[in-house]
Amino acid sequence: MNKIPINKNDFTIDLNQLQKGLYFIKLQSEIGTITKKLILQ
């Protein structure tokens, strides 16, 4: 699992190196955790 530390409200992650498919993105902060589904086509 890749972890990218982020210290601001807006950010961009380059996903060009990933293959097409289904991914789950887990975002964690001081106020909680959320998991989102990401489909790369």
One-character DSSP codes across 1-41: -------SS------TTSPSEEEEEEEEETTEEEEEEEEE-
pLDDT recorded at residue 2: 73
- pLDDT tens over the chain, length 41 residues: 677 777 777 778 888 999 999 999 998 888 899 999 999 99
Domain region containing 6: 1-41
pTM of the model: 0.64
Q: Could you tell me the sign of the dihedral formed by the alpha carbons of 13, 31, 38, 10, in that order?
A: negative
When divided into structural domains, the chain yields a total of: 1
CA distance 33 to 9: 15
